[in-house]
Structure 1
């Protein structure tokens, strides 16, 4: 995904629908219609249109990481061996296939990428870091910080 995707114009009703389904994706069209002041058919059409436009990329269940045994959260910064686009593309393809990496951002500054990594324990993090990440030919170095506790977590975008 490049940083230059087109955005679509959202009206107030679209924003209301999107806010509602970000809070609870299990709401029925009737429930959304009641809260947004629309008919269920109108809600269905708008949601379908937002899905087709790529505004709604999917609907998922959000798991509590600790409840499923994923105890370690690390913030990892990565510096690549070369700055060429081929190296970056190779690294991005590699990271896309790594289930430990929840988020990865190309960044400006001392490092080339910043990632959020979630694993069961420190041993698995060490295996990922030493055995997987640092052994990749595109990776020159990395630095990691372990999260002590999560202060805020949200997947909802503010549409104001």
Structure 2
């Protein structure tokens, strides 16, 4: 998206459209139009406006890691050596650049980051942890929790 988002507050029609496309963003616009009682052209304009405004940030596919033999999901608490802006900005850049990092949150409460990582197996996770955390002088320490089961996955937000 080029330029800065245009300020926009979603109305009832926008919220109804968002509920539908969060379930399946490939829903045909004519089906959305029928469901929300608008014309197809109006739905198209509203979706485009929400994209320009930054309400809709990305259209993505959620992939099952197991289908790609990514059998390890690790949730990692990362504790930085300090919280200086340069340290945090560098860590953000490193985590963004690692394709194995599926989600990354800069958080409060003693932990600096919570990072969700997928890997094919434990040796692959160990090599990644060594590169991202152990060999990173800005990381004080980290704690890994390995997921036993993926109970819920997705990006759906409650829209009232």
2:97 alignment partner in structure 1: 97
Structure 1 range deviating more: 84-93 or 57-66: 57-66
Task: State yes or no: 1:118 paired with 2:118.
Answer: yes
Q: CA deviation at 1:133?
A: 2.4
How far does residue 18 in structure 1 lie from its aligned partner after superposition? 0.6
Alignment of 1:65-84 (within 5 A): 65-84=65-84
Tell me how far apart the structure 2 counterparts of residues 60 and 83 of structure 1 sit (CA, whole Å): 32
Structure 1, gaps ≥5 residues long: none
Q: Distance in 1 between matches of 2:115 and 2:147?
A: 13
Tell whether 2:80 aligns with 1:57: no
Q: Map Cα deviations across residues 75-124 of structure 1 (whole Å, 9 max, x no partner).
A: 10111111211110111111110111111111112211111111111111
SS at match of 1:66: helix
Q: CA RMSD in A?
A: 1.6
How many pairs align? Answer: 156
Match runs of 1:16-35 below 5 Å: 16-35=16-35
Structure 1 stretches of 4+ moved >6 Å? none
Could you tell me which runs of 5 or more consecutive residues in structure 2 were left unpaired when the two chains were aligned: none
CA offsets 1:46-72 (integer angstroms, 9 cap, x no match): 001001011111212221111111100
Aligned partners of 2:86, 2:116: CA distance in 1, in Å? Answer: 23
Per the TM alignment, residue 6 of structure 1 is displaced from its structure 2 partner at its CA by: 9.5
Match in the other structure for 1:14: 14
Secondary structure of the corresponding residue to residue 92 of structure 1: helix
SS at 1:129's partner residue?
A: helix
